[in-house]
Every structure is written in structure tokens, then in C-alpha cells.
Structure 1
Amino acid sequence: MHSLTPRRLPEADVTAVFPRVDRYLDELLADYGPEYVHLRFPLRQLIDRGRGTPHEFSLPLLVHAALDGDPGPAVPIAAVHALWWRAANAFDDVADGDAGPELYGMPSGTALTAALECGYALPLRALAGMPVPEPQRRQLVRDYLEGWTAASNGQIGDLLNEPSRVDPDAVLGVYRHKSGAVYAMACAMAARLATGEDGAQDPPGPVAEWGRFGQVLGMLAQLRNDEDDLRSGTFDDLRNGTATYLLVHLLNSAPADRRSRALELLEKAAECPASREELHGLMRSPDVQRPYHAYVASLHQEAHALLDTLAPSCPFGAALRDRVDAEVCFLPGQQTHTAHRPG
């Protein structure tokens, strides 16, 4: 006989764990004793008031639950993932020129010093204290450090790349590291915790495939971020001369006269709203959009194909599919996702 009680949605199971992540972060901060009096408040301020990122808690919780049925054991991984984003967003705000003398209610220099502790030492302290076998702990630390290094490489590439001097493959390389590596790190660590994989298994377990899923999801999230900036009409990326995939695709695929015009508009984009508008119009031309959409659709399909193998017929896997679909809501024919998703 079927129960008349409605089944809890996987999102509800995940969001129910969020207070445990918050408490875990509080416990990590409580370990900073009186001898660290100058560091404790800025760290607290950064975690409480720093710029967060959608799904920073829920992604590792969903991956762990897809494998184990329970998101709870991944609380430390969710905390580590959130700490990375708090730190990265602080550095990003400064690099993009969005920070003045103060950042998150404290001097910008103080915030950046706290961000270094928040994104590096504090996550390593958390991983060092996890009650797992030592070989598994070493692999978790390696996952985190590889994600940190790859993301740093991608962020620097994003700052150095000039739209007129790179090709689309170079931009995708930046995206794989800047965003893809962080999502890959979160997914791989959660999968490693759920499976116990420590690098010694032959054949290896599913950790690498979960890492690839995270990388693809992160790249889709970056492409969605680029789209959100264009669709909002703020055109911050055009104003800043950022080498986004769509802009570089235009510059590398347009006929010579249109490329010349696009470069002229890009040179004026920092100061001229009309130039940004016209350049945006060139980026939206059908011959630019078709291959761009085809590439995004290929990533979308790959993410779903990975979940077909990694989390078939699983409610938490279905929630991850929704997450993938939400990142491509700008594709033609793709229904816009407006439902609330766990943060």
C-alpha cells in the first residue's frame, strides 16, 4: 500500500543540511584562539558579508547524496567549497575594480589578507581534521590544491587575455580552469568521500568522471554568467574588455570588415554605451549565434550523458540535471527555469 504522505523533494533534503554547514563553519572559526585576535573578525566578516556564489553549499551535498543517499556527510566539503568561493570572489572584486578603500565593511587590504586565509589555510585545516583514512585524506587535499592552482591559473589568464589576440580555444582553456576546476574539485571531493576512493583502486572508481561532470557544469555556469551580463544590458564584460567566449568567437569568425568594425567598437566600449550596444548586436548575429549555441548545447548534452552513467534513476541525480538545465536557459527552445534551487 502506498503512503499518502508526500515524498520529500531532494532539494528539501539538501537545504535541510545547510544549517549544519553554517555550524561547521562556526566551529572552524572558533578554533582561532585569542592569539589570532586580528584575524578572527575579518574572517568572520568575510564569511558573513562576502559575496557568495549560487549553489556553493548544495553542489557537493547533491553529489554525495546521489552516491550515498545522504547529503549529511559532505558538510565539510560544502564548507570548503563555500570558503573557496568567498576568497575567490574577494580577489575577483578587487581585480575587476569593484572594490574601493573598503570591501565587505573592512579595509580592502584587510579583506584580501583574510581571503588568503579563508581560501587556503582554513580549508586545509578543515580537510586535515576529517575523520577519514589517511590515504583518502591525502587525496582530498590533493583534489583541493589542484582545484586551487588550476583556478588561479584560469583567473590570471582571464585578466591577461586580450580579445583581439586570443582564439576561442584559448578562452575555453581559461573557462575550464577559472570555473570548471572549482566545480570539478567540489564534485570530485564529494564523490571521493562517498566512495572511499583513495587513488589506489584498480580500476579507478567514479571520482574522475564526477570531476569531469563538475568541470562541464562549471563551464556552463561561466557561459551563463557571460550571458547574464549581456542580457542585463550592463555589458560589464564589454566595458572591461574581457575576452569572453562569444566576443572572441565573433572576432575569429567574422568577415574582415565586420571584425574591423567590432575591434573599433571594442576600443571605445569602456566609455561609450552606444559602442557597447552596437558590439552586442554584432555578437547576436545569427551566423555568430548558431555555432555558439551548438557548442553550449554539446556541453549540455555531455553533462546529461555523464549523469546517465553516474546517477541514473536517482532523485538527487534529477536535481543535478535540473541544475545543468538551468545553466542553459538562454538556449533557443530551452525552457527557462524559475523554480527555487537550493543555494
Structure 2
Amino acid sequence: MAAEERTENPFRLLPLPVLGALTGDPDAALPVCVLSALWWAGAEALDDLMDGEFDARGVGMTASQTMVAATVCLTLLPQTLIGRIGLGAERERFWTRELTASGMRCAGGQLDDVDSSGVLSWRRVMVGYAGKTGAPYARDAVLSATLAGAGAGSEELRGWRVFGELFGVLRQLANDRAASTAREDADLANGTWTLLLAYAAETLTPAELAALLDAHARAPDEPAARDAVWNRLRRPDLMAGYNRRITGIHRRLSALLHQLARPSHHREQLRRLVDASATTALLTVGDGVA
């Protein structure tokens, strides 16, 4: 899954400032935060199982038990929560549909994440990011907006969905940037197509790209190939172009936020979350070159 960073993650408290920006009362979004925490617990457990990082001794459960628990966290517990918080019949149906639809989008993004067949492109990888990490954040923003009275199908709700999705993409980009060396890069170890790799695919000459993709295919098994990919992707001219793409996402999110919410302390909190994510995602010259 190459999941966005875990535990005590303030960015996953997005529902609080979203609802605060709309109503001035963030506390009413706590049920959305609980639903989100349950869902992420299940997603992270599955992530560890898929990536071979599951620690049965540390977790205190077998892999089979963890699979069952993760499934419950992803589906049954959030559904049970929705049925118990007194949303009213119409809103309860919407929340249930949203939980299911976002889960399906995330699953689709995960499937894209492990599929390295076909043509590598920015658009293709962006669609995967918008699913695997964007969909959960979009869900949380949308559910929060409904608590402020936004109706299903409204322009306001569509705006918050786009905001949450792009914010999730930015969070995934920040996570992509987390490794400080090639040996720490889980995406290289797993052969994952990232947006940085996709940007390189659209920038390099055919010969350069062929060499890069060959090294990337060998990277999971060959440390030297992993170093070669890492260094190639951190060439200053390529990093500058990639950073411009990140800056474009940042600007779009900032503009959208100003359209969706009036000036307030809570909107400022959202802006800081967006700014921090963009800053963390940017590459810098000399970043951990092997």
C-alpha cells in the first residue's frame, strides 16, 4: 500500500477543521474521526500483511487473525458506528454509501499500485494515488460537510470531495518523500510506480527511460539497481520539474479552500495542513544521493 504515515497522525484529524471552518464547531466531527481511525487501522494492518512487514509477536496476533480483524475494521465497525450515532435515515444511508464507495476506490488504487503492466504515465499513477490515499481523505471531508448541512450532489459537497482527494494525494507525495536513502525506500523495494517515476517517464529520452525502467525492475532484488534509480530520479533538473507539479497541486488546493470556507481560525488550520504537506513532499538538491 505504501501507506501514508501512521499513528498519531494529525493530518487524519482533517474532519475537525473542515467542520470547524463550516460551522465554527469542530467537535461534532468526532464521529467521522472515529470512523476514519477504525478504517485506517484495518488498512494499515492489511498493508503490513501485503508488504511482508507483519510482526506477529509485536501485534500479538497471527496473520490470519489480523486479516479478520483488519476486515472488521474496514467494514463492520465503521458500519456499526454509522448506525449508532443518530444521523437520521437519509444521512445514514448516504454515509453508508460513501463508506462503501470510498473503500472500493481505495481498493482500486491499491490494485493499480501493484500492477506494473501497461504504460507508465503521470495520469495513470495520479489516478491510483487519488484512489489509494485520496479516497479516504475525500470521504472524511465529505462526511464532515454533510454535518454542516451540505446535501448529496451539491456543488459544495463536490468541492469538498475534490479538496479531500487532492489533500490525500499530497499526503501520499509527502509519504513518498519520507525515505532518506535508497535502502530505506519501500517503493523501490516493492517495485511500486510512484508519481516521481511517472514524471521521469514523461521527461527522459527513450533511451534514458529504458535504462531507468530496467534498473527499476531489478531494484527489489539488487541494491545497486536501487541506488541507480534513486540517484537518477534526483537529478536537479528532474527534481525541479517534479517540484513544480507538486506546487501546482498545492496552489489548486489553496484556491479551492478559499472558495469552500470563509476566513476563520479553522480555515487557517486547514491551510497549515496543506502547506505542511506540500513542503514535506518537495525534493531538495542533494537529497540522500547514494
TM-score (normalizing by structure 2): 0.88
Deviation at 1:302, TM superposition (A): 0.8
1:53-72 → structure 2 map (5 Å cutoff): 54-55=9-10, 58-72=13-27
Q: Deviations over 1:195-224 (max 9, x none)?
A: 2x3437xxx252221111100100001111
Q: Which residue of 1 aligns with 2:272?
A: 322
Do structure 1's residue 154 and structure 2's residue 109 form an aligned pair? yes
1:144 and 1:331 map into 2 onto residues whose CA distance is 28
Which of 280, 286, 292 is the matching residue for 2:242? Answer: 292
1:145 and 1:253 map into 2 onto residues whose CA distance is 37
SS of equivalent to 1:254: coil
SS of equivalent to 2:279: coil
Report the AA paired with residue 310 of structure 1: L
Report the AA paired with residue 61 of structure 1: L
Q: Deviations over 1:260-304 (max 9, x none)?
A: 321332233223333222211111123322332121111100110
Note if contact 1:52-1:82 (Cα within 8 Å) is conserved in structure 2. no
Which of 195, 201, 217 is the matching residue for 1:267? Answer: 217
Q: Which residue of 1 aligns with 2:152?
A: 199
Note if contact 1:56-1:81 (Cα within 8 Å) is conserved in structure 2. no
SS of equivalent to 1:326: helix
Q: Which residue of 2 aligns with 1:228?
A: 178
Q: Which residue of 2 aligns with 1:121?
A: 76
Pick closer, same or farther for the CA change 1:210–1:127 going to 2, 3 Å. same
Note if contact 2:121-2:198 (Cα within 8 Å) is conserved in structure 1. yes
Q: Deviations over 1:50-86 (max 9, x none)?
A: x536236521111111111111111111100111100
1:212-227 → structure 2 map (5 Å cutoff): 212-227=162-177
Deviation at 1:193, TM superposition (A): 1.1
Which of 228, 253, 267 is the matching residue for 1:303? Answer: 253
1:288 and 1:233 map into 2 onto residues whose CA distance is 21
Q: Which residue of 2 aligns with 1:132?
A: 87
Q: Which residue of 1 aligns with 2:128?
A: 174
Residue range with higher mean Cα deviation, 138-147 or 52-61: 52-61
Deviation at 1:330, TM superposition (A): 4.3
Note if contact 1:53-1:85 (Cα within 8 Å) is conserved in structure 2. no
Note if contact 1:300-1:328 (Cα within 8 Å) is conserved in structure 2. yes
Report the AA paired with residue 152 of structure 2: G
Note if contact 2:19-2:147 (Cα within 8 Å) is conserved in structure 1. yes
TM-score (normalizing by structure 1): 0.75
2:211 and 2:180 map into 1 onto residues whose CA distance is 19
Note if contact 2:15-2:144 (Cα within 8 Å) is conserved in structure 1. yes
Report the AA paired with residue 132 of structure 2: K
Relative contact order, CA 8 A, sep 6+: which one is greater? Answer: 2
Which of 29, 34, 44 is the matching residue for 1:89? Answer: 44
Deviation at 1:256, TM superposition (A): 2.6
Q: Which residue of 2 aligns with 1:37?
A: none
Deviation at 1:145, TM superposition (A): 1.4
1:100 and 1:330 map into 2 onto residues whose CA distance is 28
1:148 and 1:112 map into 2 onto residues whose CA distance is 16
Which of 137, 140, 143 is the matching residue for 1:189? Answer: 143
Unaligned runs of 5+ in 1: 1-50, 335-343
Q: Which residue of 2 aligns with 1:112?
A: 67
Q: Which residue of 2 aligns with 1:210?
A: 160
Q: Which residue of 1 aligns with 2:262?
A: 312
SS of equivalent to 1:79: helix
Aligned residues: 279
2:139 and 2:166 map into 1 onto residues whose CA distance is 12
Larger Rg: 1
Report the AA paired with residue 60 of structure 2: G
Unaligned runs of 5+ in 2: 1-5, 285-290
